[in-house]
Structure 1
């Protein structure tokens, strides 16, 4: 009983066949009388058994085909109707309401007769059962309890049993489709699975062929019919479960609802960045050994802040002030100078939107980490030598200063520093050994230069020598004998050094010499160098020291008295000289005769009672000598009341007493 049998048959009418399970099926192609048909059953061991039956073929109306009626929808689900077309091998006349028994996917069902009497096709209507799914519909038979079906040709009743008639072109679908899936078409940005995208396209996955779908963005409150396999989300944030989707298959079955499993963020807005530079102490230039702060402000949080490139230096790591603000330290390179661009690198937000630079993103930074060159000091070398470092000009020129640089100098070898101004400095008088005067500059960025210095010893001397001349000839009067012999003009220049130049001008003659170690000097004027005659002349002396300072003496007035003065004696006293004026003698003698009475008056009086006087061309103050009786008497020249020059000399009374009566005495004036 448990053996598996194989069947075979011989003698079957044409059009019939024996199935593997021993069923004779098919449509005979011709009628015939009953004949023997031998059927053999063989088990797996090879044992067989044969039986014989008589089988004839007679022609009666019967069902030979089953299909959906034209124009009918061949896909249906429970409760939907479909018209079935039953094909007969003979036209039949139908009376009553026959019922078509079916097996739909092995489940029994019935279809109700609609029309077809007198034709070889009968139309039945099937109401699909609400269960089962498949495309196997088999005709099992026609119930004729309330109807008759008779063939028009044979007059035979329709064969109510139906074998082997089925259709598979009708699909009964009572199964709900699976819930579709949801996925972002593009999960952009750095993380491809974070649910953040710059695009709102959503792929609907798992749709059945010919199925439709609908989606909801408000947790199922409202639904929108979808098209294709995508729908778009507006830019917004969507919580898990907020986005729902369902599908309706071609049969009309609605799937369960699917939803987004993670939070989705749709962001189509490009992020922006602002980059600014903050220099220490509000400086405009970044100097050496200093750092700048770069400040980055973002329009939204980013997975990573952008990097900054610059030829001017290196940026340290970003430090977060907030989610959208960062700072970093910028360290400049050494020995560079200029304005450099700070190039903000490419960046994108979590959604993958490329960043956009604001107007401040094209930022520059001015860097000066190159120390300026040391300034130079220049002395205006005056005096006898232009290269001895001695000058009367205390102002030093400072060369090599950069624009907007400040500078300072030291005159004590760097112990103390003084801020300079302009492009020069002024030194006090003194000697400055090599490297005692220092200068340095600080550029606009604050970089300090090396130190410039005086390479040689410098001496600043702004004080002119004080010049004093000695009286020429002892009295600043040059008489004829002095002029004839020549005179020395000498003096002293205090504050001078040995070798300082001396220039002496007397009239139109100039003489030069140098000072001795003690500042003294002397120069000889020969007779031919000295003005002649009776006149007043001026001697001017100047001394030029090593630094070129010129000291001058006050004009020295010298009287030239190289012509002997003219002296006049009383005309009647002695023979007149060519220049005599015929003056009388003062006192009692007015007639050039000294009588006894006159002599007695003079002798009795004090010395000087008798004064000899006369006119002269000599200047007031000059001395005269009167020779009388072989004796010399000193006198002087004074201005008379009439403006003329008068000489006078007192005669001693005792000398007059010695005069003898009757003698003649000579009188001379020199």
Structure 2
């Protein structure tokens, strides 16, 4: 007992640890200075049940992203064996925050956005501690991370040139790209077609992603510009998006080739000349490339504003063409890669037609009698029936047509024959075949209308045949004028006819 009346005594830890949970009565007894006995009892509560505290998931996923970093953050948790109203101390980001235990043992504390803004990127931990009214304390640690950096995402070039043409649309198109979002995250791609189409891809380990837009979706697009949008969230929930312009051209130009060389036949004359091959295109645009191939050589040109095109084939290339059919192939390709091709056959025909003129007036001589009548000029050709033959005599043209056998004939009227002078004339006949190849023949005819004169020399020297002369052969002779050597002279004597030939000079 102290002078002031106080007293104390020690109880060992072993003794205290032996106390049972609940109420323990401590009894104290003694005597007063007068010798009177003193006895008191004091109840002590022994609380051996430990307190506990937990911290709930922070920001729903224990990752604070950019959006969450810009707003107040609620930290929460639960306690066990802690009375309502007890104070919870929370240490977060180097600062302390307090909360009160609710009747159900839960607690919440608010971290202001201003404090969150100062949090560094990376991993960290939050601590919470509490004591119950009996002094039993508890603490908890909860790990979290701060990731407020948005990922990046890109869309690669689509269809090699960001233009989808008809053939690419028919096959479907792959859209791909890359992102810094984690593997397994979902990329959502939208295409603003007549109705918005949505596709999803999964980020691969290397950050790549890809989808396929099916043909049906592409073929529903109108020609023009369309927008692809790709969005992704990283695991922290930070979003990223990008857009990509995509041109669609599903209109295939249609090509035609005009008639070549006027009749799709290259004749002998044209075979030595430069050749123009031309045509047109619908659905194409000025500047679209046209490639023309003939005999393994290719010539290029472009469509004009009206959709027309033409190429020149040099004379040397035309001359190199062999006889027979030749195939011309033309291909038009627009800026989107849509193409159309057309073939056209042109025939090389270098064979000249044949033509001949028959003997005129039976002996190629027009005499006085024949000069007063119509004159028939005829001949043959290897051309089909109906082919026109042009016959020229003395500067005048006459026409004939071949029959099924190739024969032809034309009439020179008597008036034209009568106008001929005494001379030799050249008759020409011209023919042109369906390929445009021409040939001609010439034939000479003589006009001779002068009548010959005949005189007889005296027979038997005195025109008297005596007895002696009647017994021997007699020679009858004379002179002919206006006749040619070899002409026949007919002599009639005593009812008999004899012939002689005009001798030359």
- TM-score normalised over the length of structure 2: 0.56
Match of 1:529 in 2: 317
Q: Distance in 1 between matches of 2:149 and 2:31?
A: 77
How far does the alpha carbon of each residue in 1:211-251 deviate from its partner, in whole angstroms, 9 at most, with x for none? xxxxxxxxxxxxxxxxxxxx887143327xx4322237999
Distance apart, 1:627 and its partner CA = 7.0
Question: CA offsets, 1:155-205, max 9 Å, x none?
Answer: xxxxxxxxxxxxxxxxxxxxxxxxx9887969xxxxxxxxxxx9797xxxx
Residue aligning to 2:107: 326
Question: What residue in structure 1 maps to residue 57 of structure 2?
Answer: 277
SS at match of 2:102: strand
Aligned positions, number? 365
Q: Please state if 1:491 is matched with 2:279.
A: yes
In the other structure, the counterpart of 1:243 is 26
CA distance in 1, matches of 2:263, 2:9: 127
Name the Cα RMSD after superposition: 5.1
CA separation in 2, counterparts of 1:398 and 1:509?
42
Residues 77-476 of structure 1 correspond to what in structure 2 (within 5 A)? 234-238=19-23, 242-247=25-30, 255-260=37-42, 263-277=43-57, 280=60, 285-287=63-65, 288-289=67-68, 294-301=76-83, 304-311=86-93, 317-318=99-100, 320-322=102-104, 324-328=105-109, 333-334=116-117, 340-355=123-138, 361-373=140-152, 375-379=153-157, 397-400=176-179, 402-403=181-182, 404-409=185-190, 411=192, 418=198, 420-421=200-201, 422-423=209-210, 428=221, 430-432=223-225, 439-449=230-240, 452-453=242-243, 459-476=247-264
Q: Classify the secondary structure of the residue corresponding to 1:256.
A: strand
Match of 2:298 in 1: 510
The alpha-carbon deviation at position 536 of structure 1 amounts to 1.6
The structure carrying a bigger helix percent of its residues is: 2
Give the Å deviation of 1:540.
Answer: 1.3
Structure 1 distance, partners of 2:31, 2:57, is: 61
Q: Distance in 1 between matches of 2:297 and 2:199?
A: 51
- Cα pair 2:32 2:38 within 8 Å, conserved: no
Please give the alpha-carbon distance, in whole angstroms, between the structure 2 residues aligned to 1:649 and 1:438: 78
Distance 1:235 1:628 in 2: 149
Aligned to 2:443: none
Distance 1:441 1:634, change over 3 A: farther
Contact 2:82 2:131 (C-alpha < 8 Å) held by counterparts: no
| Shift of residue 521, structure 1, vs aligned partner | 0.4
Q: CA deviation at 1:298?
A: 2.3
Structure 1 position 410, deviation (Å): 6.1
Q: Deviations over 1:137-160 (max 9, x none)?
A: xxxxxxxxxxxxxxxxxxxxxxxx
Cα 1:626/1:277, change in 2 over 3 Å = same
Separation in 2, partners of 1:443, 1:274: 28
Distance in 2, matches of 1:336 and 1:418, equals: 37
Distance 2:405 2:99 in 1: 116
**C-alpha contact (below 8 Å) 1:533/1:562 kept by paired residues:** no
Offset at 1:469? 1.2
Considering only CA atoms, is the larger Rg found in Structure 1 or Structure 2? Answer: 1
Query: Which residue matches 1:609?
Result: none
- 2:151–2:239 contact (8 Å) kept in structure 1: yes
Alpha carbons of structure 1 residues 473 and 340: separation in structure 2 relative to 1, 3 Å: same
* Unmatched runs of 5 consecutive residues or more in structure 1: 1-179, 187-197, 202-230, 384-388, 576-591, 593-611, 636-646, 659-664
- Check 1:286–1:510 CA distance in 2 against 1; reply closer, same or farther (3 A cut): same
1:601-650 deviation per Cα after TM superposition (whole angstroms, max 9, x unaligned): xxxxxxxxxxx998x6x8xx998446799542156xxxxxxxxxxx6558
- Give the TM-score taking structure 1 as reference length: 0.44
Structure-2 separation of matches of 1:405 and 1:292: 28
- Evaluate the alpha carbon distance shift between residue 293 and residue 254 of structure 1 in structure 2; reply closer, same or farther with a 3 A threshold: same
Shift of 1:523: 0.8
CA distance in 2 between partners of 1:490 and 1:462 (Å): 25
**Structure 1 position 522, deviation (Å):** 0.4
Q: CA offsets, 1:449-490, max 9 Å, x none?
A: 3x5445xx8644354432221121233221222222332100
Residues 353, 461 of structure 1: alpha-carbon distance in 2 compared, 3 angstrom cutoff: same
1:12-71 deviations in Å (ceiling 9; x for gaps): xxxxxxxxxxxxxxxxxxxxxxxxxxxxxxxxxxxxxxxxxxxxxxxxxxxxxxxxxxxx
Per the alignment, in what secondary structure is the counterpart of residue 401 of structure 2? strand
Give the CA deviation at 1:400: 3.6
Q: Which structure carries more relative contact order (alpha carbon 8 Å, separation 6+)?
A: 2
Contact 1:314 1:331 in 2 (8 A): no
CA deviation map 1:320-345 (0-9, x unaligned): 152x4434556773597976443324
Aligned equivalents of 1:452, 1:397: Cα separation in 2: 13
Kept in 2: contact 1:284–1:366 (CA 8 A): yes
- In the alignment, the residues of structure 1 paired with residue 103 and residue 257 of structure 2 have an alpha-carbon distance, to the nearest angstrom, of 87
